Amino acid sequence: MTTGFALAIHGGAGVAPRAQMSQDREAAYHAALARVLRTGESVLEAGGAALDAVTAAVAALEDEPLFNAGRGAVFTRDGTHEMDAAIMDGCTRRAGAVAGIIGPRNPVQLARAVMEQTDHVMMIGDGALALARDAGLAFEEDAYFFTQARWDSLQETLRMQADGTFDNDPSRRHGTVGAVARDRDGNLAAATSTGGMTAKRAGRVGDSPIIGAGTFANNVTCAISATGDGEAFIRHVVAHEIDARMRHAGQSLADAAEHVVQVELAAHEGSGGLIAIDCDGNVVMPFNCDGMYRGSVREGEAMQTAVYE
């Protein structure tokens, strides 16, 4: 338990199998996670709000091409980008989300604009982009979002689908990014951003921007950001299920999250994981696959980053 701040981040549950992970590459992930933690931590250290910390951390993850969000997002099967993002304030239960967008450099900032500058929760299409322009958000050309590694993954996935060898290996999914925080005032917030699943159909929306599935925050219980097979996370309303177990069954965050990830999702092809924080600043980061890029820091303690078990 802490009365100080705490922050956790993830860079997705679609990690490369250990055998394919070079030491240099793994070190690059740890360094990127540490940079992002530092970005979010500095907001909380200065007395900033959980909402501002998760916005800053997720924007930094979006800027980092190693992760599947913003720059470095995966491709649809048509070779385009479509990004989803959401943010939620656990103090007020305000939330904002966008789906299927391309253009804004930081989709999480557009999700926040939906929350703060409209009466709506979720926006898509031209209306969402018009809001981004009105809000003065930075836009990028398509080339900014292109990375050779994601393009190669798309070609490999399309080839495997065509010759019938596609195996739904989570490492080809490439994850999602997210952050959860508790500030010194005890307020919780969560944010998630993703390019979705490699070779998804144009128009497909995953769990990340769906409040209660991939993103959720409630000061009374917890804040959650998920990563994994989005369709399973939507069907199991993952984040809300954890919140409900805490409220109605009196479960701890650790017990509720462990059950949902290791029992419910694992039994229903819901490969993935999540990061979550409760109102006492306890952090849990369960996953049911090979690994999850993740890290956390609590006030007065050293930060930790991890990829595998």
The residues of the shown chain that bind ligand ASP, judged by CB under 6 A, are 12-14, 173, 175-176, 194, 196-197, 206-208, 214, 227-228, 230
What CA–CA distance (Å, rounded) separates 28 from 33?
Answer: 9
Cβ closest to ligand ASP, residue 177 vs residue 277: 177
Judged by beta carbon, residue 107 or residue 196, the one nearer ligand ASP is 196
Catalytic-labelled residue, pool 39, 55, 76, 176: 176
C-beta of 48 vs 214, nearer to ligand ASP: 214
Least separation, in Å, of the C-beta of 226 and ligand ASP?
Answer: 7
Shortest Å, Cβ 10 to ligand ASP: 9
Determine the residue with CB nearest ligand ASP: 230
Q: What is the DSSP string of 3-58?
A: SS-EEEEEEES-PPPGGG--HHHHHHHHHHHHHHHHHHHHHHHTT--HHHHHHHHH
The residues, any chain, with a CB within 8 Å of residue 51's CB and separated by 6 or more, are: 87, 89, 112, 187, 189
Q: How far is the CB of 5 from ligand ASP (least distance, A)?
A: 26
CB nearer ligand ASP, residue 72 or residue 206: 206
The torsion angles phi and psi of 73, rounded to 5 degrees, stand at -65, 150
84 within 8 A of 206, measured Cβ to Cβ: yes
Residues in contact with 122: Cβ distance below 8 Å, sequence separation at least 6, in sequence order: 86, 96, 97, 98, 99, 114, 209, 211
Q: How far is the CB of 209 from ligand ASP (least distance, A)?
A: 9
Residue 176 known to be catalytic: yes
Q: Point out the residues that are catalytic.
A: 176
